[in-house]
Amino acid sequence: MASLLATFYCLFVSLLVCRAQTTAAGVYVFSDSLVDVGNNNHLPLSLVKANFPYNGIDFSGNKATGRFSNGKNAADFLAERLGVSTPPPYLSQPNGTFVKGVSFASGGAGIFNTTDQKSTISLPRQVGYFSTVSQRLAKEMGTKAAQEHLSKSLFPFVIGSNDIINYFQSNSDIGKKYTPQQYVTLIASNLKEMLKSRSTQVLVRGANPDRMCAQAKMLLELQSSELKDLNYSYFDTYNIFLDFIRNPSTYGFNETKSACCGLGKLRANLPCTPLAVFCSGRNGHVFWDVYHPTEAAVSIFIAKLFDASADYVSPITLQHLLSL
């Protein structure tokens, strides 16, 4: 299962941006399939979808909603902890105002604007959608009120794993074009755009301890020095999931090697489809398919996101961050 873990958590960056409060005025989500709640359902030419069985087998009504999961994903559990509704997919109502938030997350999305725009919503395009939403908010609420609203809102970012998978593929054009340092610099340009205007509190979720992740952590320190009002927490995702693998019984897991839904060896050669084989003891599995965790794993992860010790969070904890 080490290969699954390495593939799934190669590198992705996520941020929770908000003012000092335990609830949020709105939640605006930027992500890939890890947090997609159905945007790709509205992309007719996209093959990166999860709106079919056995996805959603444990979701309300046993319904496949477009979440790459047997049930809820991180967006749902995060919203529950904040006491708000899960943000709806932007493409389900693109003319909406979204005062309470919206999800731009899209399966297959990456930081680089190189993917087929008809198949997924890249991060630059998601940021463009957010710009449209913020303009609508200003028109409806007034500029000052909209800025105040957004300053009290939450902005989760979960992005980058698809770029890294592509980066390390043989004969990758991206791998040839960018060094790891250049890749992190590109991440910086996207994050800066979001951070420089309205946000001061940031929780960053890390991944495996390779050179790129070390550079990403250094990037946060640099951003903090450049953006004087920026406070952040770095959340060590990789080692928390590694603990799931090494100490499964502690968390109630009994299967850490095989995916729950898929085909081939360890159900990891082909993704979860109506033709796939799926497991019955899903709460005991860490992985739902070759790329995504089960609902059970995500629920524990989000709990740790809020309650993690200093071993997993630096330079300050999330609770400390929210109190600033």
Bond before 54 cis per omega within 30 degrees = yes
Establish whether 33 is a catalytic residue.
yes
Instruction: Report how far residue 107's alpha carbon sits from residue 124's, in angstroms, rounded to the nearest whole number.
Output: 14
Establish whether 292 is a catalytic residue.
yes
In order of 270, 274, 315, the CA distances from 267 in angstroms are 7, 13, 39
Token pair 């590694």 in the structure block, residue:
242
Range 172-179 contact pairs with CB under 8 angstroms and sequence separation of 24 or more: 174/112, 174/114
Catalytic residue selected from 149, 285, 292, 299: 292
Establish whether 289 is a catalytic residue.
yes
Phi-psi region of 323 (alpha: psi -120 to 50; beta: other; left: phi over 0): alpha
Catalytic residue selected from 14, 33, 119, 161: 33
Catalytic residue selected from 32, 119, 289, 299: 289
Q: Which residues have a catalytic role annotated? A: 33, 289, 292
